[in-house]
Amino acid sequence: MSLFPPESCPRLIVKIGSALLVDPDGGVRRDWLAGIAADIAARARAGQQVAVVSSGAIALGARRLGLAKGGRASLEDAQAAAAVGQIALSQVWAETLGAEELTAAQILVTLDDLEDRRRYLNAAATLDRLLGLRVVPVLNENDSVATEEIRFGDNDRLAARVAQAAGAQGVVLLSDVDGLYDRNPALPDAQHIGRIQRIDGTIEAMADRGSASGMGSGGMVSKIAAARIANAAGAHLAIASGRIDRPLSTAARHTLFVAEKSAPARKAWLAGGLTARGTVHIDAGAVAALRAGNSLLAAGATRIEGSFARGDLVAVAGPDGAVLARGLAEYDAADAVRITGQRSGALAEILGYAPRGALVHRNHMAML
């Protein structure tokens, strides 16, 4: 098995894009899907637990409803198409996995389900129990109720968050491309990148924002964002082509994003957060302090953006604007503005009450 063999990866998340599962006419590519089910069955017999993040509901529903632009002409069309298509999608997965004597389970989630700590833990417990029962969970974003403000917008990042919740060691993003190139692969002399030890600005600059099929919502930018989330949780992530038969058991070119080590569960959840309520901008001295493992003090803050309450997730950005950490705010935005740049000894007089030790405490912060 070419990607994440069972002996080194007890739990695996496989994401399948719309363009692989649904043909241009809106029908399911059943023969190809049967090969995926056979691959999953082989891995299950070898002891690996596999969950699937499957796109395709909107594309399938759009065909049945006769909607233009694959059901993505408007949010309302996408929600209607998803409501119709999700039934068809779950039925196809149940039948295809059932033919391999595997039981499928359907889980629909919104962004809020994995951003809210309590609901995240509930989802994690459900996944753990299903996988322990040798069931194959099939997950998708609940597009019929998600709005522009609360949706993942692509299943790449959803797959990474599912890996985090499930405690998976590997994620495979099956797509219409075979990995990351140093430029758009359609351009002359584009070079394939096989292995990435660290995601930095150079790697992000290589991303192509397009989705080649026109059916999906994710491009290479979303896949690199997914790799960040997965790697922060200690899971390796591979981008591989699904334009071949049996892609989970066929040796083929791919890009592997290597996770250095697993972060503690709470910090991994913080690092993977997508809905920061605000941003705390800090100076170079504070950047050095955070990288040394210290908390963020008010004296190191230079500017506050957004509207947030105490306990909300906030991003922490350096002088260049790049986000280097995420954490839970110890102050609401209004008080954070009042104490920005102030030394600890002055905070009580400014606020009129005994101050907390930090703007963002190191125990509630994850470096990116």
Q: What count of other Cβ atoms lies within 10 Å of the Cβ of residue 46?
A: 11
**217 is annotated as contributing to ligand binding:** yes
**178 is annotated as contributing to ligand binding:** no
**206 is annotated as contributing to ligand binding:** no
CA dist., res. 293 & res. 271, Å (int): 15
**15 is annotated as contributing to ligand binding:** yes
**337 is annotated as contributing to ligand binding:** no
**144 is annotated as contributing to ligand binding:** no
Sheet with 236-241: strands ordered across: 104-109, 136-141, 49-54, 11-16, 170-175, 236-241, 254-257, 195-196
* Closest listed residue to residue 119, CA positions, set 136, 142, 96, 91: 142
**219 is annotated as contributing to ligand binding:** yes
Strands 323-328 and 365-367, by their bridges, are antiparallel
* Closest listed residue to residue 228, CA positions, set 326, 116, 304: 326
In the chain, the amino acid numbered 274 is L
**176 is annotated as contributing to ligand binding:** yes
**221 is annotated as contributing to ligand binding:** yes
Structure tokens, 141: 């974003």
| Non-local CB neighbours of 184 within 8 Å, separated by 6+ positions | 190, 208, 210
**70 is annotated as contributing to ligand binding:** no
**222 is annotated as contributing to ligand binding:** yes
Binding residues for substrate are 55, 143, 155
Which segments are annotated as binding site? Answer: 15, 55, 143, 155, 175-176, 217-223
Known binding site for ATP: residues?
15, 175-176, 217-223
